[in-house]
A and B are shown apart, each in its own frame.
Chain A
Amino acid sequence: MGLLTPWFLGGLAALGVPVFVHLLRRHVAVPRPVGSLMFFERGTQSSRKHRRLKHLLLFALRAALLLLVVLAFANPFVRRPASDSGGRVLLIVLDNSFSMRAGTRFADAKRDALALLAAKPASQRAQVITLGGTVQVLTQPEMDATQLRAALEGIQQGDGHGSFGELGRVVRSLAESTPGPADLHLFSDVQRSAAPANFADMVLPQETRLIIHAVAGTDTVTNWTVAAVDAPAELADTKDTKHSRVLAVVAGLNTPAATKSVSLVVNGKTVVTKHVDIPANGRATVEFAPLDVGFGFNRCEVRIEAGDGFPQDDSSVFAVRRSDPQRVLFVRGSGDTRSELYFGAALQAAAQASFTLQAVTAGQTGDIDPARFAFVVLADAVSLPPIFERNLRDYVTKGGSVLVALGTGAGHHAAIPLWGGQVRETHEYAHDGTGSSTIGQVDFTHPAFADAQPGRDNGGWSGTKVLYAAEVDPGGARVAARLSDGTPLLVDRSLGEGHLLVFTTGFDDLTNDLPLHPVFVAFVDRVSRYLSGADRLSGLRRVGSYLQLRAAGTAAATAAASPTGVEVVGPDGQHPLSLAESRTAQGTRLDHAGFYQVRFASGKDALIGVNPETQESDLQPMPAEMQELWAASNAAPSSNMNLTANAAATHPGTRPVSLWWYVMLLALLVAVAETVLASGYMSTQREDA
């Protein structure tokens, strides 16, 4: 028993007020004159006793009220043993990641969790948390078993990837917001692949005790799965053997060597079946070529006839869109004849015949509608007919994309089309004594340079020489690459739903030697895909990935302009976005495996195949030693945990339970009693007066 804020006891001095009023101050009875006492009789004994008792009771109530209020502010507490289950919060964590679909794991885990909840003492608070693609806290700590049970029963099987690191982070943040001891019961298959790379990420707070309820058992589960699929998202020519093919990687996990049949299913129809020898715990690649699909979106699937313990991961879905080659409008400056050659050759070589180049000069663009093209390239064409420039601006605003290359012509015409700014200056490295500049900095996260593992030579960009570059003010735009002197080389700006890419040098070999390098082909390929939006419109994603629905920063403007908004239909036929969200959301999370149908704000349709993370197919449980280590990891003080310095810290094994709530409740009751008694007393006095 103690007080958390004992200095509030100074308020006890206020007890002097009722003591003075009731005990020290003399009560002066006002005599009431009457003509004669002839007919009156003395009745003092009972009335005085009654009044004295009433006064003493009122005094006691007022003193008690003051005492209780002061006590409540002083915040009294009692110590209870930390092991007292009545004070420990019960955290029920149910794993609903994709791997829990194997066998009866999820049903078993749910049943065990419900049994634990049923056995919970009525006074113990509990909280329900799911461990799926994201860790979701479904309830606040509460004692209402009905609500907790409803939350637990409402948890459905998911397709996400569980992460114990994420669980540790969430539980740590919960412990910071509501400190106190807790028992965390984890109902999971305790996948090894769910453990984070850094063990410290999954360490739980010191006062949280981990109890693992493993539902997988100790038996190893053999599992063959389609680990990866490489298929074109866009296909223009099915006879192009270089691109019209599907490469599937099948893997065995805890499996012996076996021969399995792998099928390619297109729109529900098995097209090809191949047999493949998969080594023990190994991988094998299967190629399906050519990929013969119809025009439009095709729902494709690679399926392995595994016959294993986890049939849910035996297939991998993807979408292929077959279309005629898309046209690219290439507008060149009047004096620029080489850009078309280099860019066209690179596009032809790179883009799997998906694009055909239509080159015109700037002067010929007056009657051309840019909306008929996948994207537009302005190669040193800075002087455009006004009508075309306006059409081009509308085109970009509605979702089109434009690539502007600032060749030598830009120096003579400072204004950059659509950019809204001017060329600040031009760098002619061949004349200013430096000879040339190189590309010093490349943002490989930008789609135009996307490269997961760029080489030591900066992905091949370091070897290029830039002889001429125009300097533009990037403003709020994203600079994807810079020259070695800091001059922006590629700047990406969002305009409405579309993109404007400004390449501050030309596509010819007069301003740089980039067209002579192999990296130019890859660059044109990626830029073409990025600008045409092909990557967004079809292909393959993983569960939990984020799908951008409209350009950032344009949500409000788009909501006003297009009342229909975006439309997303999930694999289960449901609309994950509400009507309000569909008008304003910039993106959505792909939470389920299967095909998502999307209509973007720009009006383009897309079909996206979503597959669970491949780690979920690895059903190998975490080693028992590691589980024990995890459960015991929070026993010793951890350096990265911020423990609150409270009274409990000074008394290990106990925890303070604040009583202020009960004291305030008691004070309220006393206040009500005092009010009732005092009001009766005061009303009598008033009438007497």
Chain B
Amino acid sequence: MQRFLNPAVLGTIASLELLAKTVVDGFVAGLHRSPDFGFSQEFAEYRAYVPGDDLRHVDWNLYGRTDRTYIKRYRGETNSQLTILLDASASMEYTSGSAGRVPLPKKMDYARFIAASLFYLAVKNQRDAAGLIVFDDEVREYIRPSARQGQLARLMGGLENAEPRARTDFGKPLHHFQQLLHRRGIAVVISDFYEAPEQVIRTIEPLRFHGNEVVLFHILDPQELRPIMNGPSLLVDMETGQRIEVTPDYANSTYRAKIDAHVEGLRSKTRAAGMDYQLLLTDQPLDRALREYLTLREAAN
């Protein structure tokens, strides 16, 4: 089932729900071999009975063997709320085409896969409420978090309709985020973050003040991290349409240093702000994103 986590394979599945089911089933099947993560009621510890404790929690089997009363304690479990903030700017439409012979999905498609998988995991498996905010330079679509019947279909539809256009502007939709996320939960921001790290943190940090667990999924194409350029090339900005000619020397040296610094800046600044950061390349499997979500959910509980 692991192969269904491969974005190249997922690109061939048309239905987002089916895709999400495939990913999550494959991911859960993989979890049985991993003791580190759980998603149902779990045993936490034994504690000596004290008067006032609920007798339902006494482990009578243990009492029968030892004549001592102990109470089994379980990790408390509450329903969480997952809100995904999906960047739908034009730059998310980028793909380098292929990595070797394997066709790579567009960053937007990859982001959709992640979002869909997270929604499926949250709604179907965890019974969590899930919501979606699609934005570029403004909030284009908002689906209120809910765990009701049909919510998953609405979320999938929202993802389907999220077509990239315009440019990213974290500043403008900021106050919308704060208004929309009034209940604590998990906020996942999926973007390529072509913005100064300080600006990104300044925009997203307020979400954290509401008690949300915030995680940034930084989606990049491998070629954006390590561009291959054998000759002078004419580059076109997908958001602004600006054209410049770039030499290979620059792309192979200065550019790489700059993008590395940018990634490192995002990573360090998000950590410093108490948020999580995950760099996801479009040729990587999707399970890293799902793992990150479950970890955060556990922490939130």
Residues of A within 8 A of B (CB): 29-44, 46-48, 50-51, 684-685, 687-688
Contacts and interface: CB of A to CB of B under 8 A. Distances in A.
Contact of B244 (A30, A42, A48): A42
Nearest to A686: B230
A33 B258 contact: no
Given A32-B236, A43-B249, A688-B231, A37 B107 contact: no
B230 A34 contact: no
Interface in B256-301: 258-259, 262
Interface string B229-245: 01111111111101111
Contact of B247 (A30, A31, A46): A46
B107 A48 contact: no
B246 interface: yes
A36 B247 contact: no
B181 to A, nearest CB: 27
Nearest to B255: A39
A684 B192 CA distance: 30
Contacts of A36: 91, 192, 194, 237-239
A42 B232 CA distance: 10
B34 interface: no
B236 A33 contact: yes
Contacts of A684: 230-231
B240 A37 contact: yes
A159 B258 CA distance: 96
Interface in B83-140: 91-92, 94, 107
B165 to A, nearest CB: 14
Ranked nearest first, the 10 interchain pairs of A and B with the lowest CB-CB distance are: A47-B232, A43-B247, A44-B245, A35-B91, A35-B94, A36-B194, A39-B258, A37-B237, A42-B244, A31-B236
B224 A34 contact: yes
A34 B237 contact: yes
Nearest to A44: B245
A58 to B, nearest CB: 15
A493 B94 CA distance: 101
B213 interface: no
B66 interface: no
Interface in B51-106: 91-92, 94
B169 interface: no
B221 interface: yes
A486 B232 CA distance: 99
B194 A38 contact: yes
Contacts of A38: 194
Contacts, number: 87
B46 interface: no
23 contacts: A29-B234, A31-B234, A31-B235, A31-B236, A31-B243, A32-B233, A33-B235, A33-B238, A34-B94, A35-B221, A35-B238, A39-B255, A39-B258, A39-B262, A40-B235, A41-B250, A41-B254, A43-B249, A51-B231, A51-B232, A684-B231, A688-B230, A688-B233
Contact of B194 (A30, A32, A35, A47): A35
B34 to A, nearest CB: 34
B231 A44 contact: no
Nearest to B167: A36
A41 B192 CA distance: 19
Nearest to B259: A39
A305 to B, nearest CB: 98
Contact of B255 (A29, A30, A33, A40): A40
A43 B230 contact: no
A249 B147 CA distance: 145
A688 B244 CA distance: 17
Q: Interface SS of chain B: helix, strand, loop or mixed? A: mixed
B244 A37 contact: yes
Contacts of B91: 35-36
A42 B238 CA distance: 16
Contacts of A35: 91-92, 94, 107, 192, 194, 221, 224, 238-239
A35 B235 CA distance: 10
Contacts of A34: 94, 224, 227, 235-238
A152 B238 CA distance: 84
Contacts of A685: 231
A685 B233 CA distance: 11
A39 B196 CA distance: 11
Interface string B194-205: 100000000000
Nearest to B240: A37
B235 A687 contact: no
Nearest to A685: B231
Given A33-B235, A37-B244, A40-B255, 20 more contacts: A30-B234, A31-B234, A33-B94, A34-B235, A34-B237, A34-B238, A35-B221, A35-B238, A35-B239, A36-B91, A39-B258, A40-B244, A42-B244, A42-B245, A43-B250, A44-B232, A44-B245, A48-B245, A51-B231, A688-B233
A43 B252 CA distance: 13
Contacts of A39: 255, 258-259, 262
Nearest to B256: A39
Contacts of B250: 40-41, 43
A41 B239 CA distance: 16
Nearest to B244: A42
B242 A37 contact: yes
Contacts of B92: 35
Nearest to B232: A47
Contacts of B224: 34-35
A687 B230 contact: yes
Contacts of B246: 40-43
A48 B232 contact: yes
Contacts of A687: 230-231
A626 to B, nearest CB: 81
Q: Which of A29, A47, A51 has the most CB of B within 10 A?
A: A47
A47 to B, nearest CB: 3
Interface string B210-231: 0000000000010010010011
Nearest to A688: B231
